[in-house]
Amino acid sequence: MAFDNIDNLNLGNLLQIVFSNGVRNQISQDYRDWEYISRYRVGNSAARELRFMFQTNYGPAAIQYRNPGQSGRAFPKAQQSTIQENTAKFKEINATIELEYNMWDRARKSPEKYGEPLAIEIQAKTTAAKRRVAADLYGDGTGVMGQLAATSATFNANGTVTFQLSTANSARGTVGFFEFGDLLLLRAASSAASAFDTNLATEPFQWKVINKDRDTDKVTLRGQDSSGADLNVTSISTQPTAGDVFYRCGQPTIPDLTAIGSSDYGTLTEVIAGLESLTQDDSRTIHGITMEGATAGTRVSANGNPLDVIYIEKALSKVKTTVGQDSYSWKMMSMAPEAHSTLVESRETDRRFQTVTDTKRGITYFAYVHGNDVVETYTSEYVPKKRMYFLPEAKSSDKVIEYWGSDFETVKANGMSDFHLKPAAGGGHENTIVSYLSSIGVIVCKHPASIAVVEDFKVTE
């Protein structure tokens, strides 16, 4: 027979309902990369922009040999060293906390009993904001979450759609950028509407992230209408165009990726530009810096081959030759967990990999020894599988990567409450309490060539 709960019995509904204590979070709260950025904070965001200067050459043509036995010999023609001024514009990231008024009022009057819902919402938005900036540390400033491969859409029986992301070396974004519950837009590379969306029987206004599979680089999304109601997307007349891209739904500026040209990645969108642009050597412009020659990052390509220790050795040797070993030491190489797993296998055959016990921090970590440097492995869900960053530390008090900005703070004037009623669309106010958080910041790299990057490799799945 079927199972019958006790509330089916006479007076059964009079029994109390027991709730387990606390709310069990089901998603990652990791924002170590934000904490890494915070360690490199060097100033606040009081200014409207940050200016800094690069020296790109010493004027070497002014140094020439001459014949000491020749009279009337001329000194070399002068060549001054080259100095350039660069400008980084501050970016603003905002967060909104919303709670139904009656819940907020009860929490205010009896925080020991009803305070948990408010605390959960505040903590959730703070965590989400820090995770967003942590992800953008590895972005390029376009705001692209992921780029589609060819023939990438699969329709599921429950009305969701699974998309295959491109893992090509030139593809923007990564599966790690997708957050559960985030709302996205699908656009053509030119920023126009995707032909996939416009040819669906039910065209979604936005796509909600339902699932992500790191092993296959696939994301499962559900279409929604403009009010946030779920749609069942069940038919298709055309596959997405290879190269179509996902952006977050609230991004104000959607760039034309096919015509960036000499546009500055630092001001291309409202999104902070991260290491993917700050370490490039493809002649793009970032904060007024042309990423080529002396101002480019130090990059080593594996040319699509499996990740191997030879590329780590090559990258570290190349960066030390490029910028010298007197000013910097390399302590950390940041990579995806899949890349780290591949390197663990290399440890069995290469003695340059070591397990190091740090008695001060009380941790044990996996490291690669190169000369006098012990380079600690650091994994992040946000690093693309095809990238590995070797981050230096200056031996002086200067920093290579600098974060200029503020912590997330409540937006209010002196004497105002952190929370206030939400204005209604037709006038008046809703029965809802809102509060706003805001932070302003920008990431700059003072010496791009000192950061080594290994790219375009395959990992062991």
CA distances from 451 to 4, 312, 382, 394 (A): 64, 13, 18, 11
Report the range out of 49-53, 175-179, 222-226, 320-324 with the highest average pLDDT. 175-179
Q: Looking at the structure, tell me whether residues 236 and 169 fall in a common domain.
A: yes
CB of 205 within 8 A of CB of 193?
Answer: no
Q: Looking at the structure, tell me whether residues 429 and 323 fall in a common domain.
A: yes
Q: Looking at the structure, tell me whether residues 194 and 313 fall in a common domain.
A: no
Cα(225)–Cα(207) distance, integer angstroms: 9
Cα–chain center distance at 286? 16
Per-residue pLDDT band for 44 (boundaries 50, 70, 90) equals low
- Spatial CA neighbour of 175 closest among 202, 206, 211, 226: 211
Per-residue pLDDT band for 141 (boundaries 50, 70, 90) equals very high
Cα(162)–Cα(285) distance, integer angstroms: 34
Q: Looking at the structure, tell me whether residues 166 and 101 fall in a common domain.
A: no
151 has a pLDDT exceeding 80: no
359 has a pLDDT exceeding 70: no
Residue 3 lies in a domain: no
Q: Looking at the structure, tell me whether residues 190 and 286 fall in a common domain.
A: no
* pLDDT tens string 382-398: 999 999 999 988 887 77
Mean pLDDT for 269-274 is 95
Cα(313)–Cα(348) distance, integer angstroms: 17
- Domain tally, the chain: 2
Q: Looking at the structure, tell me whether residues 182 and 234 fall in a common domain.
A: yes
Residue 112 lies in a domain: yes
Of 288 and 355, more confident: 288
Domain boundary among 201, 218, 250: 250
Per-residue pLDDT band for 399 (boundaries 50, 70, 90) equals confident
Residue 177 lies in a domain: yes
Q: Looking at the structure, tell me whether residues 390 and 445 fall in a common domain.
A: yes
Per-residue pLDDT band for 201 (boundaries 50, 70, 90) equals low
With b for 16 or more beta-carbon neighbours within 10 A and e for fewer, the 203-229 pattern comes to ebbbbbbbebebeebbbbbbbbeeeee
346 has a pLDDT exceeding 70: no
195 has a pLDDT exceeding 70: yes
Domain boundary among 235, 250, 265: 250
Q: What does the DSSP 8-state code read for residue 202?
A: S
Q: Looking at the structure, tell me whether residues 344 and 435 fall in a common domain.
A: yes
Residues of the domain holding 308: 33-55+83-143+257-461
Cα(47)–Cα(34) distance, integer angstroms: 22
Cα(387)–Cα(377) distance, integer angstroms: 13
Q: Looking at the structure, tell me whether residues 227 and 284 fall in a common domain.
A: no
Q: Looking at the structure, tell me whether residues 272 and 400 fall in a common domain.
A: yes
User: Is 370 strand, coil or helix?
Assistant: strand
Q: Looking at the structure, tell me whether residues 227 and 276 fall in a common domain.
A: no
Mean pLDDT for 430-437 is 84
Q: Looking at the structure, tell me whether residues 362 and 264 fall in a common domain.
A: yes
How high does pLDDT run on average in the chain? 85
Name the token pair of 333: 């190489």
Domain boundary among 234, 250, 266: 250
**Structure confidence at residue 136 (pLDDT):** 93
**Structure confidence at residue 283 (pLDDT):** 95
**Structure confidence at residue 64 (pLDDT):** 86
Residue 444 lies in a domain: yes
